[in-house]
Amino acid sequence: MRSYEKYFRMNRLPHIWCPGCGNGIVMKSIAKAAEQLGLDQDNTVIVSGIGCSSRASGYMNFDTLHTAHGRAIPFATGIKLANPKLKVIVITGDGDCTAIGGNHFIHGARRNIDLTVILFNNNIYGMTGGQASPLTPTGKKATTAPFGSVDTAFDPCELAKAAGASYIARGTAFHAKPLVDLIAQGISNNGFSLVEAITQCPISYGRRNKMGDAAGMLKWMSENAVPLAAYEKLAEEQKGDKFPIGVLYQKTAPEYSAEYAKVIKLAQGGK
Amino acid sequence: MSQARLMQGNEACAEGAMAAGVNFFGGYPITPSTEIAEIMAKELPALGGTFIQMEDEIAGIAVVLGAALAGRKALTATSGPGFSLKQELIGYGCIAEIPLVIANVQRMGPATGQPTSPAQGDVMQARWGTHGDHPMIALSPWTVRESFDVAVMAVNYAERFRTPVIILLDEVVGHMREKVVLPKAEDIEIYPRRKPNCTREEGYKPYTPMADLVPNPADFGTGHHIHVTGLIHDETGFPTGSSKVTEDTIQRLHQKISRVQDEITHYDEFFMEDAEYAVLTYGGTARTAYAAVKMARQQGIKVGMVRLMTIWPFADKVIKKVAQKVKKILVPEMNYGQLVLEVERAAAGQAAVISLPKYNTEIFTPKEICTAIEELATEVVK
C-alpha cells in the first residue's frame, strides 16, 4: 500500500474519468498534500460541486459532500462556521466555480473564510460533452462555440485576489510535484485559499482544438507554464500563451470564522 | 419567558426556532421575512450560535444545509422571490435527508409582484416547487403564538424525519402583533439530532433506514467518513444507477412521511357539530374567516370552520369527513385558488366546493366572507 492510499476510498476506484484526463493527477496531489500535512481524516471535510472534477469527493476518504452545481462554497461555508475546528477543502471545476458558482466564489474570497478551493481548470464543461466555460480562452472551440469563443476568459487568480483571498497559487497537472506543495500551503493558510490546477481534457477540449492527446496537452503545459519570477521578467511580446505558476499572491488578513468567534464572545459579555 | 409579551409573528417564529434548538441561521434579506434574520443576527451569538448573511438566496439555503450536516440545527427565512430561488436546494435536502427549516413569509407575486402585499400564493410552490418526486411538510400558523409553536414543531419534524420543513407564514401573520404568553423552556419538547446506531467497524451505513424509515447519517466531524450526495444513492451513501435502488429510495422518502400523516396533520374545528356548511381555511385568512363564521351563526346559518395548520401533506381524511357531513365547503384564500383544488380532490364530489379567491393586495374583510357564506346558504343545492 502506498503511503497516501489511506486518503482514498480504494473500494470506490477506479474513477469515472476518461482516459488521458488530468483530474486523477490533481486528486492524487490533494491526497499527497494531505499526507504531507498529516491531515486528520476525522476533522477534514471535502466539499465539491457538480461536474467531472467534483466527482473526486466520492473517492477521497474523509467526510465528503457532493453538493449541487455551483454551490460547493456556500455549503462549505456552513460546515466551517458550524464547526470551525474542521479543515474544509473545496473541489470544483472551471464552470462550477466561475460560472454558476461565480457569486459564491467572490464572496467566499471576500470573507476570507478558511476554505481551500482547488479549482480543476480544464477550460471546458467536460461532463456535458465540451461546452464553453468562463475559462475557455477566446478563440478556442467548444460545442457551444463552434466558431471559436468570442467571450473573454476570467483569470480566476486575479479575480480571487481582487475579491480578498489570502493565498492564491496556480499549478498544472504536468508540474505534479510542485502542485502538491502549492495545495499543502493553501490548506495551511488560515483564510480563503485558491489553488488553480490546470488540467487536461483531451476528449472534450484538446481534440476539438487540435491540441493533441493527453501527452500533447501536458507538453503544452510544460512549455507554457512559467514560474512567477521568470514570468514577470518576460517582455509583453514574449508572453503569448504563457502563464505564471507558483504562489501568485499571499497576505495576512482576518479570517471569517475567527472574527465571528469574537462576535460570540462580545455578545456573551466578554471582551 | 412566562409573562405576557406583545410580539410579531415573525418574532415568535424566530423565538420558537431558537427554543427548539436552532443555533444557526443563514439567509438573505427580503421583506416581509427580514425581521426573522434581524432577530437571529442579534440573539444567536449570545447563545453561542451563528448568524451569517449570505450573498444571495441560494447561498442562504446552501449555508444552512452545510451547517446542518456539521451538526447544527439550522433555519433560513425568505419570501416568494427568494423561495423560488431556493427550490433546487430544498430538493437537495429531501434526497440527501438533511434536517432544515425554511420560513417562507408569503407576499404577492408572481415575480416582484405587488411588494409586499399579503398573499397565500406559495401553497403549491411549497409542495411542488422543487423538481422531481418528494414528500413535503408545510405548516401554516394563524396566530402569533402559533407561529412560535409551529417553529418548534418544524424544527422537531425536520430532525425526526431528516427532511426540509416549510413554515408557510403569510404577511398578515408575520407582521401582526398580538399579546402572547410563550411556554416555559422546560415545557418545550425538543427532538434531538439522530445519531449513528453503530460504528464504522461494525459496518455502519449512513443511509440504512431505521424502523421509522428514516436513516441516521452521522454529523460531519464525528469520524464516520460519510459521503453525502444529491445523486440517488444506496445505503452506503454512494451513488448508484440501479433502477431498484432508485425506486425504493423514492418510495421510502414518501413513506417515511405518509406513515405518520395522521400524527402530523394538525387542524382545528369550530362550530362543526351541527354544521351544514363549512369554511375551510388556513393562515392569516383564517382570522377573518373565524369572524365571518360567527357573524353568519348570529344570522342562524349553520356554518362551521375547519382551519388547517398542516398544509402538506394534505389533510385528505379530514376533508373527506367534512365533505360527508356538510353540503358545501367554502375555501377563501389570498390567491387565485390554490388549496381549493386539493379540497375538491379530497371531497371527491361528496360536498360542493366553492372557491373564494382574493388577489388584489387586500386581505379579506369578515363581511366579504360572511356574504359568501350567506350565498352558500341561500342557493339551492343541485
Rounded to 10 degrees, the C-alpha dihedral A85/B189/B139/B2 comes to -100
pLDDT in tens, A140-199: 999 999 999 999 999 999 999 999 999 999 999 999 999 999 999 999 999 999 999 999
Domains of chain B, CATH where assigned: 5-187 (3.40.50.970), 267-378 (3.40.50.920)
Domains of chain A: which residue ranges? Answer: 3-267
**Mean pLDDT for the stretch of residues B323-346:** 98
pLDDT in tens, B101-111: 999 999 999 99
- Of A210, A268, A204, A209, the closest CA to residue A51 belongs to A204
**Mean pLDDT for the stretch of residues B32-59:** 98
Residue A243's CB is within 10 A of a number of other CB atoms, namely 18
Find the CB nearest B65 among A63, A64, A75: A75
pLDDT of residue B2: 60
Whether the per-residue pLDDT at B1 is higher than 60: the answer is no
**Mean pLDDT for the stretch of residues A131-135:** 98
**Mean pLDDT for the stretch of residues B211-220:** 98
B199 near A CB under 8 A = no
**Mean pLDDT for the stretch of residues B330-346:** 98
pLDDT of residue A271: 61
pLDDT of residue A1: 75
Residue B301's CB is within 10 A of a number of other CB atoms, namely 18
Whether the per-residue pLDDT at B379 is higher than 80: the answer is no
Q: What is the mean pLDDT of chain B?
A: 97
pLDDT of residue A252: 98
Q: Cell numbers of A227, please?
A: 514560474
Whether the per-residue pLDDT at B90 is higher than 90: the answer is yes
Looking at the complex, report in whole angstroms how far the Cα of residue B104 sits from the nearest Cα belonging to chain A.
20
Q: Give the residue on A whose Cα is nearest the Cα of B44.
A: A264
The band of B200, judged by pLDDT with boundaries at 50, 70 and 90, is confident
pLDDT of residue B165: 98
pLDDT in tens, B232-287: 999 999 999 999 999 999 999 999 999 999 999 999 999 999 999 999 999 999 99
Distance CA A84, CA A103 (A): 23
pLDDT of residue A257: 98
A&B contacts, CB < 8 Å: 135
Looking at the complex, report in whole angstroms how far the Cα of residue B66 sits from the nearest Cα belonging to chain A.
4
**Residue in A40, A63, A90, A114 to test binding to B, most B beta-carbons within 10 Å:** A63
Q: Give the residue on B whose Cα is nearest the Cα of A264.
A: B45
**Mean pLDDT for the stretch of residues B118-137:** 98
Return the CA Rg of chain A.
18
Q: What is the mean pLDDT of chain A?
A: 97
pLDDT in tens, A248-266: 999 999 999 999 999 999 9
- Of A151, A95, A165, A155, the closest CA to residue A128 belongs to A95
Q: What is the ipTM of this complex?
A: 0.97
Whether the per-residue pLDDT at A267 is higher than 90: the answer is yes
Sign of CA dihedral B58, A97, B132, B210: negative
> CB–CB of B221 and A77 under 8 A?
no
**Mean pLDDT for the stretch of residues B319-347:** 98
pLDDT of residue B199: 86
Instruction: State the DSSP H helix or E strand holding residue A110, giving kind and residue range, or none if neither.
Output: helix A102-111
Q: Where are the beta strands (DSSP E) in chain A?
A: 44-48, 63-66, 87-93, 115-121, 124-125, 131-132, 167-172, 193-198, 225-227, 243-250
pLDDT in tens, A19-59: 999 999 999 999 999 999 999 999 999 999 999 999 999 99
Whether the per-residue pLDDT at A229 is higher than 50: the answer is yes
**Residue in B63, B73, B86 to test binding to A, most A beta-carbons within 10 Å:** B63
- Of A44, A45, A142, the closest CA to residue A99 belongs to A142
pLDDT in tens, A59-94: 999 999 999 999 999 999 999 999 999 999 999 999
**Mean pLDDT for the stretch of residues B331-343:** 98
Residue B22's CB is within 10 A of a number of other CB atoms, namely 26
Whether the per-residue pLDDT at B381 is higher than 60: the answer is no
Bridge partners, B25 (sequence order)? B51, B75
Distance CA B59, CA B310 (A): 28
Into which CATH architecture does domain A3-267 fall? 3-Layer(aba) Sandwich (3.40)
Q: Give the residue on A whose Cα is nearest the Cα of B232.
A: A66
pLDDT in tens, B146-189: 999 999 999 999 999 999 999 999 999 999 999 999 999 999 99
